[in-house]
Structure 1
Amino acid sequence: MTLWNLFSWAILLILGLFLIFFLLYCAYIHYIHLKYDHIPGPPRDSFLLGHTPTLMKAMKADSLVHELFLQWSQIYGPVVRVYGLHRVMIIVTSPDAVKEVLLSPTFTKDLVYKNAFNLFGVRYLMGMMGTFNEKAEELMEQLAEKADGKAEFSMHEMMSKVTLDVIAKVAFGMELNSLHDDQTPFPRAISMVMRGVGETRNPLIKYSPGKRGFIRDVQDSVRLLRQTGKECIEKRQKAIEDGEEIPADILSQILKSASLEKTCDMEMLLDNFITFFIAGQETTANQLSFAVMELARNPEILEKIQAEVDEVIGSKRDIQYEDLSKLNYLSQVLKETLRLYPTAPGTSRILEKEIVIEGIPVPANATLVFNFYAYGRTEQFFNDPLKFDPERFGPESKRPYFTYFPFSLGPRSCIGQVFSQMEAKVVLSKLLQRFEFELVERQSFDIVDTATLRPKDGVICRLRPRTHK
């Protein structure tokens, strides 16, 4: 047999094996579809790809995938199946399912999560007020330099810097000073990582030649954050070994948890570091930016919230922990902001056993997606849902249970929700205390999804000092 014949047989063998694997994969997809086809949902784009082309088209057009989920829920009901290759998502907009699934103790996080959750007691939160005030004052100083009524700047950029400085200091004992250092690479690195997380929804991204530069940028950003985390962790570990006094912050809890588990793997420690670091910065910055955007668009709401800040805070610079509970209308504004613009757009759970949701059997091992964006914009749950109305959360308001949960619910709810809302209150109340602001014309109010939801155009503003009557 000649070498050419051997080569030809090898090619035929490879093609034959590929065909067998392809047919087996098709059979597996068919089997998966048979399990879920009884659940309502939109027609597939194709047998193999499922709904992936529609989802990718929305992402490429800078449209919100979550708007698509909302539309599908309105058309097909509270339980909707979505296919992507062999994977299946079940989009659920059912308050009863929220109660049954999210509040279930079956779904728990690891020891690091539980220990960090226990960290956020009242005494610890009260101790953060000094840093909240300090960093918020630094932001006000930066804004004062721009407050001539003419300068145009991105409020989102400024909010991102202050929340980055806060989380770095209170969680990890780091002084980044990004408010004063325009050259610091951390804000861009975090933004790139979040974009990278969002792009991974496309299962074919790694094979796209046009994305190679973007992928390299994301990889460089991840390396920067991990190297920074490694240096921070090693410095804290040495302090512990030397018997130095260490702060009771998130980093200490991460190291304590690893010690209890007798697993001090650096990669695991860095994963936890970056998760807390990014989540603690990005979501609060986005919420504050959306709040400013809506206040600028609704002058009557702005006037009411300014009156409350004037009454509770007055002219003092040092906001106390006790002051925050008196800012009731400001709390309503922040809640309404998260209803319309949930910075973390959803959460998911994997079923361990079959359950029935709204009369529809959902098989075990299904991935349930609870989309906060869809819940907040559903007419059935919120009257005139696109209207920004803080009175929805007033003391006399009534709304359905288990339809508003921007930090999730139950044992896997966001551990930093009280922390983030305290920080947001301090920053927003100081901004309202000092400045009048208006939105620059010719900007959109679109939302962009980079794993969290943020204002697409950055909330471009003009500022001027407030003149109190």
Structure 2
Amino acid sequence: MAVSYLILSWIAKALLFLLCLSFIAFLGYCLYIKHIHMKYDHIPGPPRDSFVFGHSPTFLRMMKKDEIIHDAFLEWVENHGPVCRINFLHYIVVIVTCPEATKEILMSPKYPKDKMVYEKLFNLFGQRFLGYGLVTAYDHEKWYKQRRIMDPAFSSLYLRGLMGTFNERAEKLMNKLSDIADNKTEANMLQLVNCVTLDVIAKVAFGVDLDLLKNSSPFPKAIEICLKGMTYYVRDLFFEYKPKNRPFINEVKEACRLLRTTGAQWIHQRKTAMENGDDVPKDILTQIIKSAGKEESMTQEDEELMLDNFVTFFIAGQETTANQLAFCIMELARHPDILEKVTKEVDDVIGMKQEISYDDLGQLIYLSQVLKETLRIYPTAPGTSRDVLEDIVIDGIHIPGGFTCMFSSYVTGRLDRFFKDPLKFDPDRFHPDAPKPYYCYYPFALGPRACLGQNFAQMEAKVVMAKLLQRFDFSLLPGQTFDILDTGTLRPKSGVVCSVRHRNYK
């Protein structure tokens, strides 16, 4: 009995000691947060929801309602100005919309990518996801090595050689739409263009025929689950600790494993074929492996980085382009005058040709304007961020170093001080003779960390849109919303469901 009492006494003392330590640690953390508030509260910003959690509760409420967090950023910038403070626990994020500061920070390699966010994308709930690939590497040397390896695969000469694949895969979509038109069934355009862009990246980058318009595949669902998981993992600090979320978290981890396992198989098969002297496609994967082989040494981490970039290209190479195409179709269907004008240009440039050439793309000037205007209102990758480690003055406000600078192309694209009547869809904003937007339009980011695949994406988008406009009339089915779904990238919530008809040539 005495021994039991002694053990219980020790346990009680230990628990009391741990409780005291926890209280002291929490008190110390609160004092640190107070210090951070005093350091940065001179920067304009909305009232905090919570002393400890800052503005996080607002974002969690918006996520539960499927609202766009960038709409909150837009409202705060309109109310508080071009330098706007946000608090997340002890982290300070400053939304910046000043063109001069945007130019200074995004155009310089001096400011690394936001370590807090991009380090979280290394894995999802403990499963390696994007790792330290081209998008997520915040260390300059790691990023530069990857970029040097990737550059040859995106040269203008190499991209010209991809026109055949762009045409071939877009033609498969036209055949599918022809069946839909003949059968008078509805077309979920977001779903269809997702199939095409994933087909393109699989074929062009990795030499694999998925043919998703005919075959089922686990990849589209896996990508969707990963992106959804990424959103919760980055924005909700406590998501993974809630037992009710465990089944979804397991789905996310399994989706990550599927993508990385697939990538490892495809890379291994290609390397083996190259080592055996077999004929291999001159695609992006071959270019990457050849370029990587020129490095002085390839470590296991370098091999993992190749896999990181497989996942990066597999997701980014299809998701954002598909969403842009769907938004573009949605806006053209809402604006018959613009649709008529861009269709006439396609008729004048392409005529009845089935094969669109690289030179044809250069003549589709108004279509380029339409695609750019689509990304102004609906930037599918809506923002980027950089760490600012040293003191800086932005718009006359002195900001101590140690904060994160956020740049939202969604916000700047919808500010009337940059674009008159910003919610109006007006491709003439990007007319060749119109003044170019000054560091307020950056759907592919800017500077050395700008998206490597932007030319690839816009070539693909042009081919798909030109063929669609050449062959079909389309209109939105009634009852759809024009709402946006935020899954890390932005996509049309309704799916852009259309009726499709063969064009009646006169």
Structure 2 CA distance for aligned equivalents of residues 86 and 251 of structure 1? 42
1:287 aligns to 2:324 (yes or no)? yes
Change (3 A) 1:93 1:60: same
Structure 1 CA distance for aligned equivalents of residues 359 and 223 of structure 2? 33
Equivalent residue in structure 1 for 2:230, among 197, 200, 204: 197
Aligned-pair identity (%): 54
Structure 1 CA distance for aligned equivalents of residues 412 and 156 of structure 2? 30
1:82 aligned residue:
86
- Are 1:149 and 1:462, in contact at CA under 8 Å, matched by a contact in 2? no
Change (3 A) 1:149 1:437: farther
Structure 1 CA distance for aligned equivalents of residues 161 and 436 of structure 2? 34
Structure 2 CA distance for aligned equivalents of residues 225 and 242 of structure 1? 26
Structure 1 CA distance for aligned equivalents of residues 56 and 241 of structure 2? 15
- Are 1:111 and 1:257, in contact at CA under 8 Å, matched by a contact in 2? no
- CA deviation string 1:382-410 (max 9, x = no partner): 00000000010112322541111111111
Q: Residue 181 of structure 2: SS of its match in structure 1?
A: coil
Question: What's the CA shift for 1:119?
Answer: 2.8
Change (3 A) 1:292 1:110: same
1:47 aligned residue:
51
1:427 aligns to 2:437 (yes or no)? no
Equivalent residue in structure 2 for 1:153, among 166, 187, 191: 187
Q: Residue 325 of structure 1: SS of its match in structure 2?
A: helix
Equivalent residue in structure 1 for 2:362, among 325, 336, 340: 325
1:389 aligns to 2:439 (yes or no)? no
Structure 2 CA distance for aligned equivalents of residues 354 and 130 of structure 1? 51
Equivalent residue in structure 2 for 1:305, among 319, 322, 342: 342
2:218 aligned residue:
185
Structure 1 CA distance for aligned equivalents of residues 327 and 377 of structure 2? 9
Q: Residue 363 of structure 2: SS of its match in structure 1?
A: coil
Change (3 A) 1:343 1:20: same
Structure 2 CA distance for aligned equivalents of residues 213 and 367 of structure 1? 33
Equivalent residue in structure 2 for 1:441, among 465, 469, 478: 478
1:123 aligns to 2:157 (yes or no)? yes
- CA deviation string 1:231-257 (max 9, x = no partner): 011112212322334445432354456
Change (3 A) 1:43 1:427: same
Q: Residue 176 of structure 1: SS of its match in structure 2?
A: coil
Structure 2 CA distance for aligned equivalents of residues 330 and 249 of structure 1? 27
1:365 aligns to 2:365 (yes or no)? no
Look up the equivalent residue of 1:184 and give its one-letter code. Answer: S
Equivalent residue in structure 2 for 1:105, among 106, 109, 112: 109
Normalised to the residue count of structure 1, the TM-score between the two structures is 0.97
Q: Residue 256 of structure 2: SS of its match in structure 1?
A: helix
- Are 1:42 and 1:82, in contact at CA under 8 Å, matched by a contact in 2? yes
Question: What's the CA shift for 1:178?
Answer: 1.1
2:115 aligned residue:
none
Structure 2 CA distance for aligned equivalents of residues 348 and 90 of structure 1? 9
Question: What's the CA shift for 1:176?
Answer: 1.3
Q: Residue 300 of structure 2: SS of its match in structure 1?
A: coil
- Are 1:331 and 1:425, in contact at CA under 8 Å, matched by a contact in 2? yes
- Are 2:94 and 2:403, in contact at CA under 8 Å, matched by a contact in 1? yes
- CA deviation string 1:18-47 (max 9, x = no partner): 112211221222222222111110111111
Change (3 A) 1:256 1:100: same
Change (3 A) 1:203 1:318: same
- Are 2:152 and 2:287, in contact at CA under 8 Å, matched by a contact in 1? no
- CA deviation string 1:244-281 (max 9, x = no partner): 34445432354456542522334333222101110000
Moved more, 256-265 or 37-46: 256-265
**Alpha-carbon RMSD:** 1.5
- Are 1:112 and 1:253, in contact at CA under 8 Å, matched by a contact in 2? no
- CA deviation string 1:151-187 (max 9, x = no partner): 1131000000000000011111111111211x21111
- List 4+ stretches of structure 1 deviating above 6 A: none
Change (3 A) 1:247 1:88: farther
Structure 1 CA distance for aligned equivalents of residues 232 and 84 of structure 2? 23
Change (3 A) 1:437 1:149: farther
Q: Residue 407 of structure 2: SS of its match in structure 1?
A: strand
1:250 aligned residue:
284
1:356 aligns to 2:360 (yes or no)? no
Structure 2 CA distance for aligned equivalents of residues 143 and 129 of structure 1? 21
Structure 2 CA distance for aligned equivalents of residues 122 and 316 of structure 1? 23
1:468 aligns to 2:505 (yes or no)? yes
Q: Residue 398 of structure 2: SS of its match in structure 1?
A: strand
- Are 1:381 and 1:399, in contact at CA under 8 Å, matched by a contact in 2? no
Look up the equivalent residue of 1:178 and give its one-letter code. Answer: L
Change (3 A) 1:253 1:88: farther
Look up the equivalent residue of 2:61 and give its one-letter code. Answer: K
- Are 2:384 and 2:406, in contact at CA under 8 Å, matched by a contact in 1? yes
Q: Residue 2 of structure 1: SS of its match in structure 2?
A: helix
- Are 2:153 and 2:288, in contact at CA under 8 Å, matched by a contact in 1? no
- Are 2:91 and 2:403, in contact at CA under 8 Å, matched by a contact in 1? no
Equivalent residue in structure 1 for 2:100, among 96, 99, 117: 96
- CA deviation string 1:295-318 (max 9, x = no partner): 000000000011000010011100
State how many pairs are aligned.
Answer: 468
- Are 1:40 and 1:76, in contact at CA under 8 Å, matched by a contact in 2? yes
- CA deviation string 1:56-107 (max 9, x = no partner): 1111111100000000000000011111112221111110011111111325
- Are 1:41 and 1:76, in contact at CA under 8 Å, matched by a contact in 2? yes
2:298 aligned residue:
262
1:8 aligned residue:
12
2:120 aligned residue:
none
Change (3 A) 1:245 1:31: farther
- Are 1:438 and 1:463, in contact at CA under 8 Å, matched by a contact in 2? yes
Question: What's the CA shift for 1:132?
Answer: 0.1
Moved more, 239-248 or 95-104: 239-248
Question: What's the CA shift for 1:337?
Answer: 0.1
1:73 aligned residue:
77
- Are 1:149 and 1:463, in contact at CA under 8 Å, matched by a contact in 2? no
**Structure 2: which 5+ residue stretches go unaligned?**
112-139
Question: What's the CA shift for 1:212?
Answer: 2.0
Structure 2 CA distance for aligned equivalents of residues 312 and 277 of structure 1? 32
- CA deviation string 1:208-245 (max 9, x = no partner): 23322221221121111111111011112212322334
Structure 1 CA distance for aligned equivalents of residues 102 and 14 of structure 2? 54
Normalised to the residue count of structure 2, the TM-score between the two structures is 0.90
- Are 2:101 and 2:394, in contact at CA under 8 Å, matched by a contact in 1? yes
Change (3 A) 1:186 1:329: same
Look up the equivalent residue of 2:383 and give its one-letter code. Answer: G
2:128 aligned residue:
none
Look up the equivalent residue of 1:92 and give its one-letter code. Answer: V
**Structure 1: which 5+ residue stretches go unaligned?**
none
